[in-house]
């Protein structure tokens, strides 16, 4: 484990009503108590953000949105701005999740604009990247992730660069039960950190948190977190159940 604070995020996607979200967060905090050496981030659907913000009171817990728009306001039916997310208490925004890229047509340009908007409001982006199975099989993993990385952080300052959270999520491992092996995940994380050092500098690259996502479960969390360049986790399915998510945040 690196000395920086690990970050474990629950990406609930389109699951949980407001009342279900509240029950989960109350139960989780009651069972875990304050988190000293790791940060737990909950990303509920937009509808539950405000309510969850009102009950997130343990030290070490924070709130994230799953998406945002890059404009401040305007005629963008169905969209939510970063200013709106900040006001309800979000500290983080997940940007460029592969489901957004694949199902909703998000491009690298949109993702770069979202990262810039998140920073304009003083929030921190959790920037997702990862290759599909055909891309991995064609030997394009590094090429794809470096493009996702480089395009997403284009134009940010070095101060902002030091705050970014990078989430490596191989698309073939999301929701499939197929996890990247700890060695596969480490290989890409190590590569991304080197590229980040080349884009900014080594100190900044060592300072940022790189989290892994894709079928993280109670039985693989410890091995993943033992890798030197894995500084946290972005958890989908296994974050929906209190007992399972609690075990994940209590990785050893």
Q: How far is the CB of 170 from ligand PGA (least distance, A)?
A: 10
Which part of the chain contacts ligand PGA (CB under 6 A), choosing from 29-37, 48-56, 103-111, 210-218?
Answer: 210-218
Query: 248 is written with which tokens?
Result: 């994940």
Number of amino acids touching ligand PGA (CB under 6 A) = 13
Spatial separation of the C-alpha atoms in residues 117 and 232, rounded to whole Å = 24
Show Cβ contacts of residue 179 under 8 Å, excluding neighbours closer than 6 positions: 173, 214, 215, 216, 217, 220, 224
Residue 143 annotated to the active site: no
Closer CB to ligand PGA, residue 185 or residue 235? 235
Q: How far is the CB of 117 from ligand PGA (least distance, A)?
A: 21
For position 91 contacting ligand PGA by CB under 6 A, the verdict is no
- Of the candidates 78, 80, 36, the one whose C-alpha atom is nearest the C-alpha of residue 58 is 36
Which position among 141, 186, 215, 227 is part of the footprint of ligand PGA (CB under 6 A)? 215
Taking residues 32 to 71 in sequence order and writing x for each that binds ligand PGA by CB under 6 A, - otherwise, the string is ----------------------------------------
Show Cβ contacts of residue 30 under 8 Å, excluding neighbours closer than 6 positions: none
Please list the residues that pair with 7 across neighbouring strands.
39, 232
Closer CB to ligand PGA, residue 41 or residue 235? 235
Q: Which of 39, 69, 97, 99 is catalytic?
A: 97
Residue 169 annotated to the active site: yes
Q: How far is the CB of 169 from ligand PGA (least distance, A)?
A: 6
Q: How far is the CB of 83 from ligand PGA (least distance, A)?
A: 25
Q: How far is the CB of 48 from ligand PGA (least distance, A)?
A: 17
For position 160 contacting ligand PGA by CB under 6 A, the verdict is no
- DSSP label at residue 128: E
Direct distance between the N- and C-terminal alpha carbons of the chain, in angstroms, rounded to an integer: 10
Q: Is 178 helix (H, G, I), strand (E, B) or coil?
A: coil
Query: 31 is written with which tokens?
Result: 């069972």
Spatial separation of the C-alpha atoms in residues 173 and 73, rounded to whole Å = 35
For residue 115, with 0-12 CB atoms within 10 Å meaning exposed, 13-18 middle and 19 or more buried, which class applies?
Answer: buried
Which position among 235, 245, 249, 251 is part of the footprint of ligand PGA (CB under 6 A)? 235
Which position among 234, 245, 248, 249 is part of the footprint of ligand PGA (CB under 6 A)? 234
Q: Is 116 helix (H, G, I), strand (E, B) or coil?
A: helix
Q: Which residues are catalytic?
A: 97, 169
What residues line the site for ligand PGA (CB under 6 A)? 11, 169, 174-175, 213-216, 234-238
């Amino acid at each position: 484990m690196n000395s920086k604070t690990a970050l474990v995020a629950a990406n609930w996607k389109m699951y949980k009503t407001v009342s279900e979200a509240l029950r989960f967060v109350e139960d989780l905090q009651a069972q875990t108590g304050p988190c000293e050496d790791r940060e737990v981030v909950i990303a509920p659907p937009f509808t539950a953000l405000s309510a969850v913000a009102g009950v997130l009171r343990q030290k070490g817990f924070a709130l994230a949105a799953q998406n945002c728009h890059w404009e401040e306001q305007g005629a963008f039916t169905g969209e939510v701005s970063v200013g709106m997310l900040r006001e309800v208490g979000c500290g983080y925004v997940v940007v460029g999740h592969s489901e957004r890229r694949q199902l909703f047509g998000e491009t690298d340009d949109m993702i770069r604009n979202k990262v810039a908007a998140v920073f304009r409001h003083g929030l921190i982006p959790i920037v997702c990247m990862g290759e599909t199975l055909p891309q991995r099989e064609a030997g394009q993993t590094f090429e794809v992730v470096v493009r996702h990385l480089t395009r997403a952080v284009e134009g940010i300052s070095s101060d902002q660069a030091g705050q970014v959270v990078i989430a490596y999520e191989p698309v073939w491992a999301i929701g499939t039960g197929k996890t990247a092996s700890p060695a596969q995940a480490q290989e890409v994380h190590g590569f991304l950190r080197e590229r980040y050092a080349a884009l900014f500098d080594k100190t900044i690259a060592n300072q940022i948190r790189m989290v892994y996502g894709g079928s993280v479960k109670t039985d693989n969390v410890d091995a993943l977190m033992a890798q030197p360049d894995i500084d946290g986790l972005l958890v989908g399915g296994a974050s929906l159940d209190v007992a399972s998510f609690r075990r994940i945040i209590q990785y050893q």
